[in-house]
Amino acid sequence: MPDPLHSDPLNDELLELALEAARRAGTLLRDGRPADLGVASTKTSPIDVVTEMDLASEKLITGFLAEHRPDDGFLGEEGASVPGSSGVRWVIDPVDGTVNYLYGLPSWSVSIAAERDGETVVGVVAAPMRGETYQAVVGGGAFNNGERVHHRPAPPLSQALVATGFGYVAERRAGQAEVLRTLIPQVRDIRRGGSAAIDLCDVACGRVDAYYERGLNPWDLAAGVLIAREAGALTGGRPGQPASHELTVAAAPALFEQLQPLLDDLGAWHD
């Protein structure tokens, strides 16, 4: 675990709160999923759904955090938006991988990040169906169930196992398919898991060599990007830019330096 001699008391507090909030939400989602789970609403398209459990999870998380830190801000996928006055903002995805959750597939997670003055300092991703919780504090390394993790040594691009994801709007999906058509002969293979937060943690744990996706929102990437970076991976967007809605890339440094410019040339950052 991180060296207590070099820890920051506020970051430690934020981490403990994030871990407990994610644990509670994960338990609710795992144990409380109704057999006839229905869709509460749709977002960008009929494929991009919100279930009743997304809403219940976000309410649980924001309620727990506000009880302990009432002056903090919130940014949540399902509508939580509070500016706060403490300089701390929580960025929350109450179910990352909602379609997986809806269908009873195991690759879904709860993602909670804490920002201080705009910098992500704490990230927690709980994947209850894996029995795993990933965590990182800025400068303190990345951990899975308390064990330190590190990215895989960078392979040649031709031997890289690359995770990705697709948007919900048909036009974006068509563009992403075209990028993939050109990319797939140049790598070992592609994986599409359905939870961006888990994909980023899989880079951190060495389960895939790289991950990229267009269209992520702050709640999709905030915790996972910190965890991947603290595991030694490089993260970013287009060359010279941070990970963003436009493009998110994470990989071991030597592989990142090959993959990022290739994705830029292929137009993975635009529809």
Residue corresponding to tokens 């705009």: 118
How many structural domains does the chain have? 2
Q: For residues 88 and 33, state if they share a domain.
A: yes
Full residue range of the structural domain in which residue 254 is found: 157-266
The whole model's pTM is what?
Answer: 0.95
Given a cut of 80, whether residue 6 has pLDDT beyond it is no
**Residue 3 binned pLDDT confidence (cut-offs 50, 70, 90):** low
Which tens digits make up the pLDDT trace of 187-208?
Answer: 999 999 999 999 999 999 999 9
Taking the C-alpha atoms of residue 243 and residue 249, their distance in angstroms, rounded to an integer, is: 7
pLDDT for position 18: 98
Given a cut of 70, whether residue 14 has pLDDT beyond it is yes
Instruction: Pick the last residue of a domain from 149, 166, 189.
Output: 149
Q: For residues 131 and 83, state if they share a domain.
A: yes
Q: For residues 57 and 140, state if they share a domain.
A: yes
Q: For residues 115 and 180, state if they share a domain.
A: no
Q: For residues 171 and 66, state if they share a domain.
A: no
pLDDT for position 5: 47
Given a cut of 70, whether residue 1 has pLDDT beyond it is no
Q: For residues 142 and 248, state if they share a domain.
A: no
In a domain, 180, yes or no: yes
Q: For residues 10 and 30, state if they share a domain.
A: yes
Which tens digits make up the pLDDT trace of 28-70?
Answer: 999 999 888 888 888 888 778 888 999 999 999 999 999 999 9
pLDDT for position 79: 84
Q: For residues 65 and 87, state if they share a domain.
A: yes
Q: For residues 141 and 214, state if they share a domain.
A: no
Mean pLDDT calculated for residue range 72-77: 96
Mean pLDDT calculated for residue range 108-126: 98
Percent of the chain with pLDDT over 70: 98
Instruction: Pick the last residue of a domain from 129, 149, 169.
Output: 149
pLDDT for position 262: 98
Give the CATH number for residue 52. 3.30.540.10
